């Protein structure tokens, strides 16, 4: 194990990894040619810096794969929680560099510190993002007075069909990477490290990012076949990130400065019904054309929707209940969020015989009320409601970034 770890490190060293740009640049410059003609260039070799002002995995250009888990703390000792956050942080920092979980993995008499399934694999642009749920701030750990006023359980929202076994949790971990095994490895190892202190409450794997989250990224498609993320807040748009995503330094709880609130919603799609609908009806649901992604009032994806435009019969071209009309920031007091969701499919629903598939909606924002207000509106008016149901939910306060090796997730809260 230790030897293999060295070879992983050597691979990284060879690529001159210093950040996403550096790593990807090295691949583009032909660094892979040296290895073998059979080794096709892959986009998986880069690393994303773990330390910084903000946690990685929020402004980071969305990777292709997700492993997400929510945990309940089963210990009632605050010191246990603090020690776990220290250990989790060190493990996450190491894994994002493409290295194993710190500790010995070569003692025959002891279980290896790292479970080993990513040995020899590149880091795959891995990011690990942590958040604290409202339930952590009850009286178990004496944290009630450290709860940000904005961190409250999400209220019941119209059309909710929430499964309590896929909702809530004291802690959340979002692991995103270009490779599913790299993302899963994080959740598995953090769960293992946390044994006795935390217990996994629910988890979700995601494939296929459903949002463009940078100005250079192409727009992907969700499982309904529509481009998603066209008008998203972009991680490289500093002004919009400041205005809509990052919690400001004068927040009521200093430990949240530079952080963000994460809303997670497991949204089931009634795919079979959707697939039987005519193209025109599908396009009316979103207010966009399916192939190009253009608003129905335009011809190109980037065209700005014209919500005032009327058809010859006087009806709005973009229907009153079209998803984009209802969701657009200009129709919601200018308030926006950064959507960073993933598609999921978890086999067949035994009750209906239909696919259990949909969108694992993840969105970051500086105030979760933005989601609550929008979902109150969408849940009662959106044409999309005929085809979807929100079945899981979580709200998590993601603290500001881990600054250096001595810092750890939530130090300002738990120290």
Interface with ligand HEM (CB under 6 A): 222, 224, 226-232, 265, 267, 269, 286, 288, 323-324, 327-329, 358-359, 361, 371, 374-375, 378, 384, 388
H helices of 245-322, in order, are: 271-275, 279-286
Exposed, middle or buried by CB within 10 Å (0-12, 13-18, 19+), for 92?
Answer: buried
Structure tokens at 233: 């807040």
Q: What is the DSSP string of 307-320?
A: TT-B-TTSSBSS-T
- Residues in CB range of 92: below 8 A, 6 or more apart: 50, 128, 130, 186, 190
Structure tokens at 312: 């010859």
Q: Give me the residues paired with residue 174 across strands.
A: 68, 129
Min CB(266)–ligand HEM separation in Å: 10
Letter string b/e over residues 345-358, b meaning 16 or more CB atoms within 10 A of that residue's CB: beeeeeeeeebbbb
Min CB(63)–ligand HEM separation in Å: 18
Q: How far apart (Å, rounded) are the C-alpha atoms in residues 162 and 389?
A: 9
Q: What is the DSSP string of 144-186?
A: GGGS-TT--PPPP-TT----GGGB--SEEEEEEESSHHHHHHH
Query: Which residue, 123 or 305, has its beta carbon nearer to ligand HEM?
Result: 305
Min CB(293)–ligand HEM separation in Å: 7
Query: Which residue, 84 or 285, has its beta carbon nearer to ligand HEM?
Result: 285
Q: What is the DSSP string of 195-211?
A: BTTEEEEEEEEEEEE--
Min CB(351)–ligand HEM separation in Å: 20
Min CB(49)–ligand HEM separation in Å: 27
User: For helices 2-15 and 20-28, what crossing angle results, to 10°?
Assistant: 80
Min CB(372)–ligand HEM separation in Å: 9
Min CB(280)–ligand HEM separation in Å: 16
Query: Which residue, 183 or 233, has its beta carbon nearer to ligand HEM?
Result: 233
Q: How far apart (Å, rounded) are the C-alpha atoms in residues 189 and 179?
A: 16
Query: Which residue, 229 or 410, has its beta carbon nearer to ligand HEM?
Result: 229
Query: Which residue, 59 or 212, has its beta carbon nearer to ligand HEM?
Result: 212
Query: Which residue, 224 or 414, has its beta carbon nearer to ligand HEM?
Result: 224
Min CB(279)–ligand HEM separation in Å: 14
User: For helices 78-96 and 180-193, what crossing angle results, to 10°?
Assistant: 150
Query: Which residue, 17 or 337, has its beta carbon nearer to ligand HEM?
Result: 337
Query: Which residue, 206 or 400, has its beta carbon nearer to ligand HEM?
Result: 206
Min CB(382)–ligand HEM separation in Å: 8
Query: Which residue, 96 or 375, has its beta carbon nearer to ligand HEM?
Result: 375
Measured from the Cβ of residue 146, the count of other Cβ atoms closer than 10 Å reads 20
Within 13 Å, how many C-alpha atoms sit on residue 181's CB side?
11
């Amino acid at each position: 194990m230790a030897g293999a770890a060295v070879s992983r490190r050597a691979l990284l060293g060879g690529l001159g990894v210093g950040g996403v740009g550096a790593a990807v640049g090295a691949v583009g410059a032909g660094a892979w040619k040296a290895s073998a003609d059979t080794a096709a260039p892959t986009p998986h070799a880069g690393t994303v810096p773990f330390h910084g002002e903000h946690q990685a995995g929020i402004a980071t250009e969305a990777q292709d794969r997700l492993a997400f888990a929510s945990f309940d703390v089963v210990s009632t000792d605050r010191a246990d929680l603090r020690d776990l956050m220290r250990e989790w942080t060190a493990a996450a920092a190491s894994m994002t560099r493409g290295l194993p979980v710190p500790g010995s993995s070569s003692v025959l008499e002891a279980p290896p510190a790292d479970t080993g399934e990513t040995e020899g694999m590149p880091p795959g642009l891995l990011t690990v993002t942590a958040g604290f749920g409202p339930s952590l701030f009850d009286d178990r750990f004496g944290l009630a007075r450290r709860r940000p006023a904005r961190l409250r359980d999400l209220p019941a929202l119209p059309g909710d069909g929430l499964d309590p076994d896929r909702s809530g949790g004291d802690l959340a971990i979002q692991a995103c990477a270009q490779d599913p095994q790299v993302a899963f490895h994080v959740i598995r190892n953090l769960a293992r490290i946390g044994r006795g202190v935390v217990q996994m409450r629910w988890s979700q794997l995601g494939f296929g990012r459903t949002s463009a989250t940078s100005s250079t990224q192409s727009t992907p498609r969700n499982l309904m076949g529509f481009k998603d993320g066209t008008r998203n807040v972009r991680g490289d748009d500093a002004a919009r990130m400041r205005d809509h995503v990052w919690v400001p330094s004068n927040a009521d709880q200093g430990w949240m400065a530079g952080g963000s609130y994460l809303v997670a919603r497991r949204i089931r799609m009634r795919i079979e019904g959707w697939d039987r609908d005519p193209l025109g009806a599908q396009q009316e649901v979103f207010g966009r054309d399916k192939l190009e992604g253009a608003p129905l009032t335009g011809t190109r994806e980037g065209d700005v929707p014209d919500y005032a435009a009327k058809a010859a019969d006087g009806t709005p071209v973009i229907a009153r209940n079209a998803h984009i009309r209802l969701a657009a920031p200009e129709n919601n007091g200018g308030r926006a969020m950064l959507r960073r969701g993933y598609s999921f499919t978890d086999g067949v629903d035994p009750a209906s015989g239909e696919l259990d598939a949909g969108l694992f909606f993840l969105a970051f924002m500086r105030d979760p009320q933005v989601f609550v207000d929008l979902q109150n509106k969408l849940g009662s008016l959106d044409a999309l409601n005929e085809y979807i149901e929100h079945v899981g939910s979580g709200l998590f306060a993601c603290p500001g970034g881990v600054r250096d090796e001595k810092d750890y997730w939530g130090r300002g809260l738990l120290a």
